[in-house]
Amino acid sequence: MTAALRNYHARMQRVLDHIDRHLDDDLDLDALSSVASYSKYHFHRQFTATFGLSVHRYIQLARMKRASYRLAYSDAVSVTDIAMDAGYDAPDAFARAFRQRFGQSPSSFRKSPDWEPWLAAFGPLDNARSKFMQKTFTSDDVTICDVPTTAVAIMEHRGDPATLPATIQRFIAWRKAAGLHPSTSPTFNVWRSERRPASPADYSVDLCVGTDEPIEANGAAIKAGEIPGGRCAVLRVVGNTDNLEPAALFLYRDWLPASGEEARDFPIYCQRLSFVPDVAEHEAAADLFLPLK
């Protein structure tokens, strides 16, 4: 990649970062073109040519994604407040836009989200963010730690990853009922398959919450287990933690061969440190653990 192209990518990355950090602000073309250090007369076409959607559409999708997360996972926030935060002057206008995009009203989505059209709707946003904006890691970002054995309650997700959001929602509902808040009870994901196996039916991940209390399933598919202690390579990811695959690939492809270490017989896993919608997407954080011998 040429220096000029790297500079272009960096300027466009600044724009995406600025949008993510200022979703509640007036993100007009003058301000965004200034962030990129481009003329406002050309910036909107440059953005569209680069990311495949207009600046306005990108901002609209980013706000709607945050709104949908709040509807699904934050019962305490009213639909009216969510609509205002998404840039709509009235709940009715928000409801019309939401239904048009997802085929459900906001209140219906809150009660029982249909995740398939949701995933499809945000395909352009996810494609834009992954266009060339992969975070790069170095060996200095990796630490080796001895981690303790952690008793956990587990909800298994087995099957098509497209249905994972529904499992996550059930998991959140169960842990709320059990009083296992993320601020006091750590959250883990243990991946027991590839991110995209040849057959979606083979996808496998455990959603876990740390607790040494007796587990009451209360009708949910919950079981007790543990994350074994031992040496681990730890890599922190801040920002887009929806997809930790680039960080995992760095550990396996770059760090592990150069380190002289060997992986232990337990899957790679992460601890979720902060979550959307509790924090903005650019503030979400997770530690990735690669168990070592």
Is the per-residue pLDDT at 21 higher than 70?
yes
- CATH 3.20.80.10 maps onto the chain at 139-291
Assess contact for 29 and 8: CB atoms under 8 A: no
pLDDT in tens, 191-224: 999 888 889 999 999 999 999 888 887 778 999 9
- Options 3.90.190.20, 1.10.10.60, 2.60.40.420, 3.30.70.330; CATH of 3-129: 1.10.10.60
The CA distance from 70 to 66, in Å, is 6
- CATH 1.10.10.60 maps onto the chain at 3-129
- What average pLDDT does the chain have? 91
**In sequence order, what DSSP letters do the residues of 208-228 get, joined into one string?**
EEE--SPP--TTS--EEEEE-
Which letter, b or e, does each residue of 22-43 get, where b requires 16 or more Cβ atoms within 10 Å of its Cβ?
A: ebeeebeeeebbebbebeeeeb
pLDDT at 32: 93
pLDDT in tens, 225-274: 999 999 999 999 998 788 898 899 999 999 999 999 999 999 999 999 99
Is the per-residue pLDDT at 133 higher than 60?
no
Is the per-residue pLDDT at 118 higher than 80?
yes
The reply to whether the predicted model has a pTM over 0.85 is no
Between the alpha carbon of residue 131 and those of residues 35, 60, 106, 276, the distances in Å are: 19, 18, 30, 22
Q: What is the mean pLDDT of residues 118-129?
A: 87
Number of H helices, E strands in the chain: 12, 8
Q: What is the mean pLDDT of residues 128-156?
A: 89
pLDDT band of 132, cuts 50, 70, 90 = low
- Options 3.40.30.10, 3.20.80.10, 3.40.50.740, 3.50.50.60; CATH of 139-291: 3.20.80.10
